[in-house]
Amino acid sequence: SGMVGVPGTAARLFGALAQAGINVILITQGSSEQSISFAVQPADARKAKRRVEKEFAFELEKGAIDGVRLEEDLAVVAIIGENMRYRPGIAGRLFQALGKNGINAVAIAQGSSELNISVVIARDDESKALNALHEAFFLSDTKELHLFLVGVGLIGSTLLRQIQQQADWLREKSGLEIKITGLANSKKMLFDPEGIAPDAWKARLEADGEPMSMARFVERMKALNLSNSIFVDNTASEKVASFYESILDASISISTPNKIATSSSYLQYQRLKQIAAKRGVPFMYETNVGAGLPVISTLTDLIQSGDRILKIEGVLSGSLSFIFNNFREGTRFSDIVREARKRGYTEPDPRIDLNGIDVRRKIIILARETGLPLEQKDVEIAYILPEAVRNAPSVEEFFKELKAADDHFERMRREAEEEGKVLRFAAVLENGQAAIRLLRVGPEHPFYNLSGSDNMIVFTTERYSERPLVVRGPGAGAEVTAAGVFAEIIRIGNFLA
C-alpha cells in the first residue's frame, strides 16, 4: 500500500518480469486500488512471484508493500470484437450473464480500444461462464433455460409435450432455448447438460436413469452450476417442497403447481419469499390457484398499484363448482356427487373435496399474497356434510349416508330458491378473515351464473368496488395447469434475460 500509483512502481514491476522473460497476459490496476494485478501462465506463476519479491525486497521489508499474493486455479475468459465500445451494453450483457449465474470476477481488464474485455474467474466456473457468454453473445440473442423437472405424472408429462411442441416457436420468436437438463420421477433421475429430448425422455429415464434421491437431485443440480437454471416441481410432495429453501439460496428459480410450501406454515412461506428476494431469483406458483387462470398475477398487480382488497370470493374447486352448479330442482345431491366422481372431477373419496381442505390451501395463499399472515387453523370451514356422512367408514357407506341426507340438502336448496338464490360452496376473504362457506347468492352475484366445473375468482377492491374484477374458466386439468407452469417458465426466462 502506498506504492501503487507512485511513479516508477509499475515500471519496476514490469521491468522485473521482463528481465525474467515472463509474458504478462493481463494487467489491471484500478483508480483507487491499493494493488496492481497481473496474470501469467501457470508455469510462470511461482517464478513471477519470486522475481517480484526480489525486486521489491526493500519495500517489503519496511512494509511499504504488503506482499505478493499468488492466486491459482483461475481462468481468463474474454470476449473479443471490433468496435465493441460503440455497441451499447456489451459490458452490461457480459457481467449480467456472469452475475445472474453467480460467477465472480476475480479481476477485469478492458482497454479503451475495447477489442477485448477479459475477466479472471475461478477455473471451476469456466464452463458455466463460457456457456452463459455463448448464449449472451453468439446465439443470435437466443438464451438457454436449463430446466430441472421433478415429477412426470399427468402434469409433468403434459408440460414436456407442450415444451416439445412449442420449442421451435420459442427459439424463433422469443429467443428462448429450453433445455431439459434434469428429470426425475419417484424412482429414477437423469441429468444431461446437453438437454434431454422432450420426446424421448421416457425411454431415456428408464434406460439411463440412476436411483432417485431428492437430496442428490438437488446436489447434482447445484454442482452442474448452469446458467438460467429453473427448478420445476410437478409433484404434490412435501419432501420435494422441503428443498425449496436450499434451491433458491443457490440462485436457482422455482416454478411449481405444488401448494405445500406456500400453504403450510406462514413462517416457511415468508422465509422462501425472503430468500428469493435476497438472491434476486423468481419463486413463482401462479398455478397454485386456478391452474392457468391469471389469479395470483392479477392480485399482485392490484396490490402493487395500491388498490385495497375489500373482498376475494372464489369458487376454487372444479368438483365443488360442478356439484353445486348442477344441484337444481329435480336433482338429488347424492346423484350429482356420484356423477362428479364418475367424471373424475372428485377424488376417489369425494369427501376429500367436500371437506374443503384443498380450497383452504388456496384461500390461504391468496390471503398471504395480500399481506395477511394466516395459518390453516385461522380459516373457518363450514362442514356441509352431516356427521354420519363425514364419518362413514368407506366410500360405499359414504354414498349410502349421503343418499340418506338428500332431504337435508334439498331443504337447503329450496330455502335458497325461495329467496331467488342458489347455493355455492366458496372461499371468502374479507376483513382479514378467511372462511369457506356455503353461500346463497342471487342473480346480481357473478357466482349465480357459474356453470360446468369452472373456477371463478371475484376481486372486490377499492377501485373495483361497485363492480368486481372477475376471472373465470377451468381451474384444473393437466393441460391448463401445465400451460400455466409453462407460461411462468417463460416469464422467468424473460426476467433472467
Q: How far is the CB of 355 from its own copies (least distance, A)?
A: 25
Residue 362 is a catalytic residue:
yes
Residue 129 beta carbon to its own copies: minimum distance, rounded to whole angstroms: 12
CA-nearest of 380, 381, 373 to 265 is: 373
- How many residues appear in the chain? 497
3-class DSSP state of 471: strand
Tell me how far, at minimum, the Cβ of 110 lies from its own copies, in Å. Answer: 4
* Dist CA 75 CA 128 (whole Å): 12
C-beta closer to its own copies: residue 383 or 448? 448
Cβ 267 to its own copies shortest distance, Å: 19
d(CA 458, CA 469) in angstroms, rounded, equals: 6
> What pairing do the DSSP bridges indicate for beta strands 469-474 and 74-80?
unpaired
Joined grid coordinates for residue 261? 410450501
Which residue type is seen at 487? Answer: A
391 alpha carbon, distance to own chain's centre: 39
Q: How many CB atoms are closer than 10 A to CB 345?
A: 21
CB of 19 to its own copies, least distance (A): 8
Minimum Å gap between C-beta 65 and its own copies is 13
For residue 397, what are the contacts with CB-CB under 8 A and spacing of at least 6? none
Rank residues 190 and 477 by Cβ distance to its own copies and give the closer one. 477
Q: Which is nearer to its own copies, 400 or 491 (CB)?
A: 491
| Residue 305 CB coordination number (10 Å) | 8
Instruction: Annotate 409-469 with DSSP letters as a single string.
Output: HHHHHHHHHHTT-EEEEEEEEETTEEEEEEEEE-TTSGGGG--TTEEEEEEEESTT-SS-E
Residue 134 CA neighbour count, 13 Å, CB half: 12
- Identify which of residues 162 and 235 has a Cβ nearer to its own copies in the complex: 162
The Cα–Cα gap between 183 and 206 comes to 11
Question: How far is the C-alpha of 415 from the C-alpha of 126, rounded, in Å?
Answer: 72
Which parts of 431-468 are beta strand (E)? 433-441, 454-461
130 vs 203, beta carbon nearer its own copies: 130
| 361 touches 352 (CB < 8 A) | no
Write down the least CB distance from residue 55 to its own copies, Å: 11
Q: Compare residues 25 and 412 and give the one whose CB is closer to its own copies.
A: 25
| φ, ψ (nearest 5 deg) of residue 484 | -65, -40
Q: Residue 37: beta bridge partners?
A: 28
Contact criterion met (CB below 8 Å) for 214 and 149: no
Residues β-bridged to residue 433? 430
Select 269 or 398, whichever has its Cβ closest to its own copies. Answer: 269
Q: Which is nearer to its own copies, 340 or 379 (CB)?
A: 340
Rounded Cα distance, 368 and 266, in Å: 8
Q: How far is the CB of 408 from its own copies (least distance, A)?
A: 29
What's the min distance (Å) between Cβ of 381 and its own copies? 27
Identify which of residues 292 and 356 has a Cβ nearer to its own copies in the complex: 292
Question: Which of the following is catalytic: 100, 179, 362, 421?
Answer: 362
Q: In what order do the strands lie in the sheet with 143-150?
A: 210-211, 188-191, 176-184, 143-150, 229-233, 253-255, 283-284
* Catalytic (active-site) positions: 362
